[in-house]
A and B are shown apart, each in its own frame.
Chain A
Amino acid sequence: MENVLKKMSFLIQAENLSVSRQNKNILENVSLNIKKKDFITIIGPNGAGKSVLLDCLMGSFIPDSGKIIKKSNLSIGYIPQNFIPENSMPISVERFLKLNKKFSTSELINLSKETNITDILKKNLSNLSGGELQKVLLTRSLLDEPELLILDEPAQNLDIKNQLNFYNLLNSIYKNRNLSILMVSHDLHMVMSSTKQVVCLYHHVCCSGEPQTVAKDPEFISLFGNDMAEMMSVYQHTHNHSHKEILND
Chain B
Amino acid sequence: MIESFLIRAIIAGIGVAIIAGAIGCFVVWRKMAYFGDSLAHSALLGVALGLVLGISTNIGTIIICSFFTIILIWLQQKKILATDTLLGILAHSALSVGMVVLSLLDRSVDLHSYLFGDILAVNSLEIYFIIFGGIFVLIFLYFNWASFVLMTIDEKLARAEGINVLVNQLLIMLLMTIVVAVSFKIVGLLLITSLLIIPAASARQLAYSPEIMAIISSALAVFAVIIGIFSSLYLDTPSGPSIVVASALIFVTISLLSFIVKTK
A residues neighboring B (CB under 8 Å): 58, 60, 76, 78, 80-81, 83, 85-86, 88-92, 95-96, 99-100, 124-125, 137, 150, 152
Contacts and interface: CB of A to CB of B under 8 A. Distances in A.
Contacts of B29: 86, 88-89
Nearest to B163: A100
A90 B213 contact: yes
17 contacts: A58-B160, A78-B156, A78-B161, A80-B157, A80-B160, A83-B154, A85-B154, A89-B149, A90-B209, A90-B210, A91-B153, A92-B209, A95-B210, A99-B146, A100-B146, A100-B161, A125-B153
Nearest to B211: A95
Contacts of A76: 160
A60 B161 CA distance: 9
A36 to B, nearest CB: 21
A90 B156 contact: no
Interface of B: 25, 28-29, 146-147, 149-150, 152-154, 156-157, 159-161, 163, 204, 207-210, 212-213
Contacts, number: 59
B153 A85 contact: yes
A91 B146 contact: no
B154 A80 contact: yes
A23 to B, nearest CB: 15
Given A95-B210, A100-B161, A125-B153, 17 more contacts: A58-B160, A60-B159, A76-B160, A78-B161, A80-B156, A81-B156, A85-B153, A85-B154, A88-B28, A88-B204, A89-B153, A92-B208, A99-B146, A99-B149, A100-B147, A100-B163, A150-B160
B25 to A, nearest CB: 8
A80 B209 CA distance: 23
Nearest to A58: B160
Contacts of A99: 146, 149-150, 153
Contacts of A100: 146-147, 150, 161, 163
A124 B152 contact: no
Given A86-B29, A88-B29, A100-B147, A95 B209 contact: yes
